[in-house]
């Protein structure tokens, strides 16, 4: 009996397996297609990048920012800011140990990969996954070069993608040797040094062609973290990192074990890094003016200045020796034409880069009496006139002297030398606090000036630089000594961008006024409060001390140099024993003795011999210059003016209703002091010596003169009697 036929086997499992196979094959095909498209896209991107790459010469010239080298008056380098580049070394001149060290520590498969290292990427991925963070990178030397030249260091996928494309394009266009040459001459090694030659010169004092294994290892180890491992920042960290590099070089075959044994990182000697921290107060001030003088944002610059390095060191030493503990100090020294010869803005630039010589506003104390006495001299008084030191009351204010005593009648010279408060207050009240304020304005004080009676004793804040400028103007015979520091700016290629031309002289006060002021300041040093400033040669100066000994000042000059010194605390607290005639005067003397020592002493001009002291070119009187409108002689129209409350106001000050100065007998043909704007017509003063009688309200002018061209003609050319 025949067996019945077996039932047909089910085809469903086979169909199921076929569906999975078709799906898998589809996925594979899609992956291949996507991969091919990716490769085509990458190749297209690399081709586009390749076509747009600059030439080798162009990449050699492209800088990593602008380098600025600031030089002193003797052409020595004060500071180099920004990137520093050494000599460009062709690949053939780069030591083999240097290339071996860099390849070993940064990219050991550099000679074989196409710009991107897949093995390195895989290794870094595993290491970072195990560590749970980004602890190892996989960028090749070519990728670092692409980032260094074309990209930023932002950590984004877009930037990484562009970096990979550029790296592969660079590999297609240039040889491995050319890429390594670019890299070693362009990479940053810390301390402002770009390229192995700049790094070698900065850290070892010789060119990169002379590098030994230990020194090459130090430089190669800096790329990972220049700020951490630079010898200028941490020499021991640099040596430890070099030891690691040498070990890697041995394992990668870059050097033999015998060579490694000789290359002891501990034997590497670094050149001392010169510390010029405090000169940065000056160089920072100079840099703030460079961009106002030129418009060159890319070319390396060489800025020549007026600073005297020997004097700068003397200034720093003088302040370090004399500044009271817990206090700050500042110093500015100006030549007769305003050239800055020394500037110290604080005790330690590293701890505080605030420039107290330029930016700090402090009360000047009695050093502000300088403007009070100038007003009196210009108004007709002389150093030999008799004044009276006695109790006075102005409104609700009764000034008193530091010693609580009054000496009675004395000369104007002696009152200044002894810094008698009652006489200074009486002078300011007699001749007008507005006129005193305007005198300070004329001499370059731009800070708000208090118009209350106590301003005569220095209650308005000023800066040391502006006060020194004012005193330097008297040292130069009444001709403005506007501070300047930059004499020349040129590119590294020698193209001159700026060269200072001498400015026309601007007369601030008549020469006889400057001579009389010098005479009184000379007495202050010889017999008055400034005796501690004496240096064994003709000298004039003035002390200044504020209430509770919060500020101490000394400003003075020889025939060659004017120097201002300030001391005090940044928080304006009292400093025990601080007075202008003590530490500031001693610091002044210590600096000046070295700054002008070795030059023959020259006498100060304290009197004018022969000639008419009043004859001056009309366009120079009190600062008037061509094109200056009447009434604008002592300050420009855009210079701020401050009202009685200290608030900035627009326009010129209104004429004061304070009584003015007298015309001294015998000087009736002299131009009126009211040439400067804001000064009032002054009633005749008594010919009797002394200041006890002050004109009453009825003597005061009822209206200010109209400041127009007719007024100027009448003032400069008064009718004959």
Q: Residues 590, 314: contact at Cβ < 8 Å? A: yes
Q: Residues 88, 62: contact at Cβ < 8 Å? A: no
235 by DSSP, 3-state: which? helix
Residues composing the chain: 721
Instruction: Give the separation between CA 226 and CA 5, rounded to whole angstroms.
Output: 87
Which two structure tokens, joined as six digits, stand for 370? 């300088």
Half-sphere exposure of residue 715, counting CA atoms within 13 Å on the CB side? 23
Q: Name 556's bridge partners.
A: 541, 563
Q: Residues 64, 187: contact at Cβ < 8 Å? A: no
Q: Is 261 exposed, middle or buried (0-12, 13-18, 19+ CB in 10 A)?
A: exposed
Known catalytic residue at 674: no
Q: Name 567's bridge partners.
A: 329, 552
Instruction: Give the separation between CA 256 and CA 250, rounded to whole angstroms.
Output: 6
Which two structure tokens, joined as six digits, stand for 222? 């800096």
Could you say which of 69, 84, 106, 672 is catalytic? 106
Q: Name 85's bridge partners.
A: 194
Residue reference for tokens 């039932």: 7
Q: Residues 106, 216: contact at Cβ < 8 Å? A: no
381 by DSSP, 3-state: which? coil
Q: Name 68's bridge partners.
A: 81, 301
| Residue 231: closest CA among 186, 196, 194, 189 | 189
| Residue 274: closest CA among 72, 79, 85, 71 | 79
Known catalytic residue at 84: no
Which two structure tokens, joined as six digits, stand for 473? 């103007």
DSSP-derived letter for residue 277 is G
Could you say which of 366, 419, 460, 680 is catalytic? 366
Q: Residues 366, 554: contact at Cβ < 8 Å? A: no
- Helices 369-378 + 464-475 axis angle, to 10: 30
| Residue 246: closest CA among 226, 268, 230, 227 | 268
Which two structure tokens, joined as six digits, stand for 417? 């030398």
Q: Name 79's bridge partners.
A: 70
Q: Name 397's bridge partners.
A: 394
Q: Residues 374, 445: contact at Cβ < 8 Å? A: no
Q: Catalytic positions, please?
A: 106, 366
């Amino acid at each position: 009996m025949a067996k019945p036929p077996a039932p047909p086997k089910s085809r469903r499992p086979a169909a199921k397996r076929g569906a999975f196979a078709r799906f898998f094959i589809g996925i594979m095909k899609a992956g291949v297609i996507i991969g091919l498209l990716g490769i085509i896209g990458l190749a297209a991107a690399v081709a586009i990048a390749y076509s747009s790459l600059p030439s080798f010469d162009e990449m050699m010239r492209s800088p990593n920012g602008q380098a600025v080298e600031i030089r002193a008056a003797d052409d020595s380098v004060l500071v180099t800011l920004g990137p520093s580049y050494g000599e460009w070394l062709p690949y053939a001149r780069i030591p083999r140990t240097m290339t071996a060290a860099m390849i070993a520590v940064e990219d050991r498969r550099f000679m074989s990969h196409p710009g991107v290292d897949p093995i390195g990427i895989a290794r870094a991925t595993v290491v970072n996954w195990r560590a749970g963070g980004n602890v190892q990178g996989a960028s090749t030397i070519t990728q670092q070069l692409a980032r260094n030249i074309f990209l930023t260091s932002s950590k984004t996928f877009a930037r990484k993608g562009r970096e990979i494309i550029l790296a592969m394009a660079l590999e297609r266009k240039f040889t491995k040797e050319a890429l390594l040459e670019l890299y070693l001459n362009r990479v940053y090694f810390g301390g402002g040094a770009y390229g192995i030659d700049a790094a070698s010169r900065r850290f070892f004092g010789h060119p990169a062609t002379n590098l030994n294994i230990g020194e090459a290892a130090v430089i190669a180890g800096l790329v990972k973290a220049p700020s951490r491992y630079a010898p200028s920042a941490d020499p021991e960290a640099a040596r430890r990192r070099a030891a690691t590099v040498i070990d890697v070089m041995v394992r990668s075959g870059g050097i033999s074990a015998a060579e490694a044994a000789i290359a002891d990182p501990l034997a590497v000697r670094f050149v001392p890094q010169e510390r010029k921290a405090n000169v940065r107060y000056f160089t920072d001030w100079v840099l703030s003016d460079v961009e106002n003088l030129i418009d060159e944002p890319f070319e390396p610059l060489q800025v020549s200045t007026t600073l005297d390095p020997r004097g700068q060191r003397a200034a720093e030493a003088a302040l370090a020796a004399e500044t009271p503990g817990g206090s700050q100090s500042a110093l500015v020294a100006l030549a007769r034409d305003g050239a800055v010869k020394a500037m110290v803005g604080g005790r330690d630039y590293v701890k505080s880069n605030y420039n107290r010589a330029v930016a700090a506003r402090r009360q000047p104390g009695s050093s502000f009496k300088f403007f009070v006495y100038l007003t009196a001299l210009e108004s007709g008084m002389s150093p030999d006139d008799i004044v009276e030191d006695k109790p006075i009351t102005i409104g609700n204010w009764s000034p008193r002297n530091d010693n609580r005593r009054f000496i009675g009648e004395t000369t104007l010279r002696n009152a200044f030398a002894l810094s008698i408060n009652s006489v200074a207050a009486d002078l300011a009240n007699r001749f007008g606090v507005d006129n005193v304020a305007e005198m300070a304005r004329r001499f370059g004080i731009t800070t708000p000036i208090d118009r209350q009676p106590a301003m005569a004793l220095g209650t308005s804040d000023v800066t040391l630089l502006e006060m020194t400028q004012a005193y330097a103007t008297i040292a130069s015979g009444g001709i403005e000594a506007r501070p300047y520091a930059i004499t020349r700016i040129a590119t590294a290629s020698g193209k001159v961008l700026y060269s200072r031309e001498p400015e026309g002289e601007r007369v601030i006060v008549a020469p006889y006024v400057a001579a009389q002021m010098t005479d009184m300041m000379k007495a202050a040093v010889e017999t008055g409060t400034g005796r501690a400033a004496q240096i064994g040669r003709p000298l004039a100066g003035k002390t200044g001390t504020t209430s509770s000994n919060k500020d101490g000042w000394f400003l003075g000059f020889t025939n060659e140099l004017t120097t201002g010194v300030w001391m005090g605390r940044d928080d304006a607290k009292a400093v025990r024993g601080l007075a202008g005639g003590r530490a500031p005067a001693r610091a002044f003397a210590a600096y000046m003795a070295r700054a002008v020592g070795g030059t023959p002493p020259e006498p100060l001009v304290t009197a004018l011999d022969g000639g008419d002291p009043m004859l001056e070119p009309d366009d120079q009187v009190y600062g008037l210059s061509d094109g200056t409108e009447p009434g604008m002689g002592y300050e420009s129209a855009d210079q701020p003016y401050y009202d009685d409350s200290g608030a900035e106001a627009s326009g010129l000050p209104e004429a004061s209703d304070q009584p003015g100065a007298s015309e001294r007998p015998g000087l009736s043909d002299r131009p009126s002091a009211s040439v400067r704007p804001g000064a009032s017509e002054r009633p005749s003063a008594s010919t009797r010596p002394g200041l006890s009688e002050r004109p009453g309200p009825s003597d005061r002018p009822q209206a200010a003169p109209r400041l127009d061209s007719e007024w100027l003609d009448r003032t400069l050319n008064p009718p004959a009697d």
